[in-house]
Chain A
């Protein structure tokens, strides 16, 4: 048993080494620096206990940013998960070579570099020249100014992100679906279960692990959203598309405010950890994953 324990540690060592050097050193550094005032006005770091944290909570902009990010998360997560599951089930049906076409066209947005995709969507969303409004016009939707309008800019980013990300989730669901043994369905068919019943009592429970996984990944990625905002709107107009990581970026790299940047990073990680812990606590146990 002892040797087993030793080998266990040795297997972890390689991963832990890289993680330690490139992730945890930076994280501890942030946690440490978050206690300092270190910015353009005080170029020499000065220890100030938790005053940075107070300052974060006092800034009205922080709360707006948080609100934006929650709106983003609460829309992109359910929409892209449902879409991904629905399409995964459809694509999983038996069909001819056209299946390849579907699979590729649904998954490819994930493969496009964000630098280019975001530029492209700026153009697609252009109120007068973009294809988005042009085709919405055919459906009788009144013209929306998208990125040119405070009320819709965040929605535009959300739409773009759903397009970009749901292929990821679809792939995971697809892998999950294909690992459901066929005889389950056959047995159900013999007992006369219909499509919905099969979905409800076989597919859904069997997909629970995949769903939990997608959910966790979706939460993390929806709070890490950055590139779209960076290229498409720079957080504007009027900070209505400013999100957490962009806010961190602004402090660390625009304002040269390393103290505040570190504070925000630390808060960000703590918040996300709490969210993930909550997910596992509430749902995880039911899906037979004890952490």
Chain B
């Protein structure tokens, strides 16, 4: 027995060593002319999409056989991807192409690690760059220079469960359009256990985890912003922001028609399981909801106060700065190819993300997709009212500071004006 285990162990160990050297050998053997590029990507929608990226890349590689080979590297969710990119950059071994959450751009720039794509974009002319939806472009540009190409992009929307609308005596085809209606509907839709008072069904869930992103949308709906476009001035304690946070506190704490906190990943199941009648979440979960929900539901704009409004989200394609020129050129070829009309349409149809280019919606693949599933158009239409997401240096710190205050306010631990004053002070100090 012992001998067998020993032999097996030795066997595996040796094969392990051999196969590593095999990979070295392969690396050395590559013909000198072939450029092998690595591409780190997070795929924000479940599993199958990793394969979609693979298939698209294969097509590209075939077209450029013998010259360029892009190796797509699945690198986990947004956070692990950022970590992988960062580790690689710090170690002087950056991936040639990468896709990270949009608000990381100023930080990446401060570390001098992204290439300006200005010249490439200019070469393609106006028809290329202007075809991207304007709010998506915002997060790709800093100081007038383009650093990223929109690809995997989303916005938050409002989902509503038509069946529980009926049960509460509301018109299932009429979702709330304004904050007041939202409050009113949410109150009517909240169902409590008669005896214990436990909530059986929340009226509205404003998802936690990325609640900073949702909060920005509320501030936009109230006609204000959180950080100036140049990323230098914080504006967290404006009258409009305080009003927006106070509205949250009203829903979550005073009226108790929504959970005060939640996690980003568990609210879509809440919606599918009938635990919440209305849900604020990313467009990214639409496919998940369609596949999992047994009931009829709708997607609509987030309700307005002064105006409809949203902050866009998602990830852009970028090229590392500290790689040889020829690799940059090859990387750009790939990005240009991935962001052509046909591919953006294909990606959107497969993933449920918004197609980043306006003309993609005239593509036959896309036309067929949206004619079958018109709810995928809601996020696109909402883009008319959407803005770029706030961006600033040290954005992750900004997020943590803001989230802390949002969570404390929702628990009734601090009043909105006070909370946002703290946020303003701390955030201004980190972004300057």
Cβ–Cβ < 8 Å partners of A149 in chain B: 260-261
Query: Which residues in chain A, 146-165, are within 8 Å of chain B measured between CB atoms?
Result: 147-150, 153
| Contacting pair A43 B198 (CB below 8 A) | no
* Number of chain B residues close to chain A: CB under 8 A: 39
Query: In this assembly, does B134 line the interface, its C-beta being within 8 Å of a C-beta of chain A?
Result: no
Contact B275 A128, beta carbon cutoff 8 Å? yes
Question: CA A67 – CA B385 in complex, angstroms?
Answer: 44
Most chain A CB neighbours (cut-off 10 Å) among B82, B263, B393, B410 = B263
Shortest CB–CB separation between residue A282 and chain B, in angstroms?
37
Contact B200 A40 (CB under 8 A): no
**B275: A residues at CB distance < 8 A:** 126-129
With A148-B259, A237-B208, A237-B261: A40-B198 Cβ-Cβ less than 8 Å: no
- For residue B93, CB closer than 8 A to chain A, the reply is no
* B396/A254 in contact, CB under 8 A: yes
Closest to B272 in A: A129
Question: Would you call B396 and A255 a contact (CB within 8 A)?
Answer: yes
Within 8 A of B (CB), among A178-233: 230, 232-233
**Residue from A43, A233, A234 having most chain B Cβ neighbours under 10 A:** A234
Residues 219-269 of A at the B interface (beta carbon under 8 Å)? 230, 232-234, 236-239, 250, 253-256, 258
Q: In the complex, which of the residues B83, B269, B410 contacts A253, with contact meaning CB atoms closer than 8 Å?
A: B83
- What A residues does B265 contact at CB under 8 A? 119, 122
Most B Cβ at <10 Å: residue of A123, A149, A256: A256
Check A142 for interface membership: any CB of B closer than 8 A.
Answer: yes
State whether A256 and B404 are in contact (beta carbons under 8 Å apart), knowing that A40-B111, A149-B260 are contacts in the complex.
Answer: no
CB distance from B28 to the nearest CB of A (A): 25
**Assembly CA distance A145 to B259 (angstroms):** 9
Are A126 and B107 in contact, with the CB atoms below 8 A? no
Within 8 A of B (CB), among A25-80: 39-41, 43, 61
- Residue in B closest to A115 when the chains form the complex, CB atoms: B76
A126, A150, A230, A256: the one contacting B266 at CB < 8 Å is A126
Interface members, chain B 59-93 (any A CB < 8 Å): 79, 82-83, 86, 90
Q: Say yes or no: B262 contacts A148, CB within 8 Å.
A: yes
**Given B112, B208, B273, which contacts A128 in the complex, CB threshold below 8 Å?**
B273
Residue-wise interface mask of B (398-432) relative to A, using a CB-CB cutoff of 8 A (1 in contact, 0 not): 00100110011011010000000000000000000
Residues of the B chain whose Cβ atoms lie less than 8 Å from the Cβ of A233: 263
A40 touches B209 (CB 8 A): no
Output the nearest chain A residue to B431 by Cβ-Cβ distance.
Answer: A41
**B210 to A, closest residue via Cβ:** A234
1/0 per residue B124-155: CB within 8 Å of A? 00000000000000000000000000000000
| Complex Cα spacing A238 to B259, Å | 14
Q: Assess the A236–B209 pair: CB atoms within 8 A.
A: yes
Q: Hey, which chain B residues are within 8 Å of A286, CB to CB?
A: none
**A264-284 residues at the B interface, CB under 8 angstroms:** none
Q: Does B397 contact A (CB under 8 A)?
A: yes
B394 at interface, CB cutoff 8 A: yes
Q: Known interface pairs A128-B275, A237-B407, A250-B400. Does A40 touch B394 (Cβ–Cβ under 8 Å)?
A: yes
A143 to B408, CA, bound (A): 21
- A128–B208 alpha-carbon span in the complex (Å): 16
Please indicate the chain B residues that have their CB under 8 angstroms from the CB of A234 in the complex: 209, 263
A40 touches B393 (CB 8 A): yes
Bound together, the chains give a CA A236 to CA B407 distance in angstroms of: 8
Q: How far is the CA of A250 from the CA of B260 in the complex (A)?
A: 24
Known A39-B394, A129-B275; 20 more pairs at CB < 8 Å: A40-B110, A43-B112, A123-B266, A123-B269, A126-B269, A126-B270, A128-B201, A128-B270, A129-B270, A143-B196, A147-B263, A148-B261, A150-B261, A232-B263, A237-B208, A237-B407, A238-B261, A238-B404, A254-B397, A255-B397
Interface residues of B (CB under 8 A from A): 79, 82-83, 86, 90, 107, 110-112, 196, 198-201, 208-209, 259-263, 265-266, 269-270, 273, 275, 393-394, 396-397, 400, 403-404, 407-408, 410-411, 413
13 residue pairs from A and B, CB less than 8 Å apart: A43-B110, A43-B112, A122-B266, A123-B269, A126-B266, A142-B198, A143-B196, A145-B261, A148-B208, A237-B208, A253-B82, A254-B400, A256-B111
Task: Across the A-B interface, give the 5 residue pairs with the lowest CB-CB distance, nearest first.
Answer: A238-B407, A237-B261, A128-B275, A254-B396, A237-B407
